[in-house]
């Protein structure tokens, strides 16, 4: 039977380590600080940011939630970023995406001081990550590596296949796996004979953003499956495609009117050696790694 890689337990362990580090820094008069910028009112974004601010409070970090109106201009947001860059009590700056269409998101993210870029999206941090130099890595890819390491899944010498080439997940997770001495193949929607490639994977990371895209036929029995996808299903026919006969999911779907599925078809987990569930897997580590990055940024800024 496949081993479930429990994201909740791993995230709790990371948060505990972060809290201990925050206490050690407090003894030296240092309190790491995170500024979260939430533009307008997007329900999902409000939930995400609330969870991040709550995590700061639980772990002893300082947080500052800034909520500009939805019609704020790019120029005003750039001025806000300049202010946050200059504040000594702020070690990390988080701009919650997506932003309103009229805002130049790329210009805004590039304006963040790389030393405070706790999301790891800045080109400077991307370059440092590629070069293997100290950098703030994107939270979800960093979480993937933590899951593998803390679950004692071998990485060095293994063939890791990453399906997805986004700047936020696919590319950085491939680089991080390479730094851990895996042999890495990056695939995407245009890859020919995709199933032939994915079946070679000892570690298969799915981050393509398509419900159940990786099917059982595309997985080598015994492989470790890391599912980064979070796709919401609200149509009955979609639900039946993945979870027909699953009483627990059926009850949740009936109650909420929707459910979550990853980029890997749930049936594929049955032949895996180990896998991250959805929900309950990689997603839970993202906030934990954000807290860890904020503490790391605080230490790097002070030369600790």
**pLDDT (0 to 100) of residue 244:** 86
CB 187 within 8 A of CB 198: yes
Q: Percentage of the chain with pLDDT > 70? A: 100
**pLDDT (0 to 100) of residue 204:** 98
**pLDDT (0 to 100) of residue 249:** 87
**pLDDT (0 to 100) of residue 47:** 87
State mean pLDDT over 288-304. Answer: 95
> What does the pLDDT look like over 11-61, one tens digit per residue?
999 999 999 999 999 999 999 999 999 999 888 788 889 999 999 999 999
Check pLDDT > 90 for residue 123.
yes
Dump the DSSP string for 258-293: -EEE-SB-GGGGGG-SEE--SSSSTHHHHHHHHHHH
pLDDT, mean over the chain: 95
State mean pLDDT over 112-126. Answer: 96
**pLDDT (0 to 100) of residue 140:** 96
**pLDDT (0 to 100) of residue 6:** 95
Whether 139-285 and 30-117 are alike in CATH topology: the answer is yes
Enumerate the β-bridge partners of residue 261.
Answer: 231
Q: Where are the domains of the chain?
A: 30-117, 139-285
Choose among 138, 93, 139, 98: nearest CA to 113: 93
CA 140 to chain CA mean position, Å: 2
**pLDDT (0 to 100) of residue 148:** 98
Q: Respond yes or no: is residue 52 known to be catalytic.
A: yes
CATH of domain 139-285: 3.40.50.720
Whole-angstrom Cα distance, residue 128 to residue 130?
5
Residues 6+ apart with CB under 8 A from 93: 34, 35, 37, 81, 84, 85, 112, 113, 116, 117, 118
Residues 6+ apart with CB under 8 A from 131: none
Catalytic residue among 15, 91, 96, 116: 96
Residues 6+ apart with CB under 8 A from 287: 11, 51, 52, 55, 139
Q: Percentage of the chain with pLDDT > 90? A: 85
Work out the pLDDT band at 66, boundaries 50, 70, 90. very high
Q: Respond yes or no: is residue 202 known to be catalytic.
A: no
Strand 159-163 to 183-187 pairing: parallel
Catalytic residue among 15, 52, 116, 171: 52
Work out the pLDDT band at 255, boundaries 50, 70, 90. confident
CA 76 to chain CA mean position, Å: 28
Check pLDDT > 90 for residue 258.
no
**pLDDT (0 to 100) of residue 291:** 97
CB 265 within 8 A of CB 215: yes
State mean pLDDT over 109-137. Answer: 95
Edge to edge, what strands does the sheet with 224-227 contain?
Answer: 3-4, 274-275, 224-227, 203-206, 159-163, 183-187
Check pLDDT > 90 for residue 234.
no
CATH of domain 30-117: 3.40.50.10860
Q: Of residues 47 and 144, which shows the higher confidence score?
A: 144
Q: Of residues 92 and 134, which shows the higher confidence score?
A: 92
Choose among 228, 105, 96: nearest CA to 170: 228
Catalytic residue among 91, 117, 119, 263: 119
State mean pLDDT over 59-74. Answer: 96
Handedness of CA 241, 249, 223, 289 (dihedral sign): positive
Q: Respond yes or no: is residue 116 known to be catalytic.
A: no
Whole-angstrom Cα distance, residue 130 to residue 123?
10
**pLDDT (0 to 100) of residue 195:** 97
Work out the pLDDT band at 189, boundaries 50, 70, 90. confident
């Amino acid at each position: 039977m496949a081993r479930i890689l429990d994201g909740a337990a791993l995230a709790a362990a990371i948060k505990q380590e972060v809290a201990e580090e925050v206490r050690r820094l407090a003894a030296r008069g240092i309190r790491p600080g995170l500024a979260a910028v939430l533009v307008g009112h997007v329900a999902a974004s409000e939930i995400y940011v609330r969870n991040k601010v709550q995590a700061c409070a639980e772990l002893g970090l300082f947080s500052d939630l800034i909520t500009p109106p939805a019609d704020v201009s790019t120029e005003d947001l750039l001025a806000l970023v300049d202010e946050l860059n200059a504040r000594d009590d702020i070690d990390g700056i988080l701009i919650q995406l997506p932003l309103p269409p009229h805002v130049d998101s790329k210009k805004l993210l590039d304006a963040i001081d790389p030393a405070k870029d706790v999301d790891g999206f800045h080109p400077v941090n991307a370059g440092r990550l590629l070069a293997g130099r100290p950098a703030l890595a994107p939270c979800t890819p960093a979480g993937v590596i933590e899951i593998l390491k803390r679950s004692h899944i071998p990485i060095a010498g293994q063939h890791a296949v990453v399906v997805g080439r986004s700047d936020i997940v696919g590319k950085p997770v491939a680089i991080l796996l390479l730094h851990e001495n895996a042999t890495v193949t990056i695939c995407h929607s245009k890859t020919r004979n995709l199933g032939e490639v994915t079946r070679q994977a000892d570690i298969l990371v799915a981050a393509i953003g398509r419900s159940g895209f990786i099917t059982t036929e595309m997985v080598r029995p015994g492989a470790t499956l890391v599912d980064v996808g979070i796709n919401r299903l609200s149509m009955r026919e979609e639900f039946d495609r993945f979870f027909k006969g699953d009483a627990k999911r059926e009850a949740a779907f009936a109650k909420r009117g929707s459910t979550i599925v990853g980029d890997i078809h749930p049936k594929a987990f049955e032949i895996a050696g180990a896998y991250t569930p959805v929900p309950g897997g990689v997603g839970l580590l993202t906030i934990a790694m954000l807290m860890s990055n904020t503490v790391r940024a605080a230490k790097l800024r002070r030369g600790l």
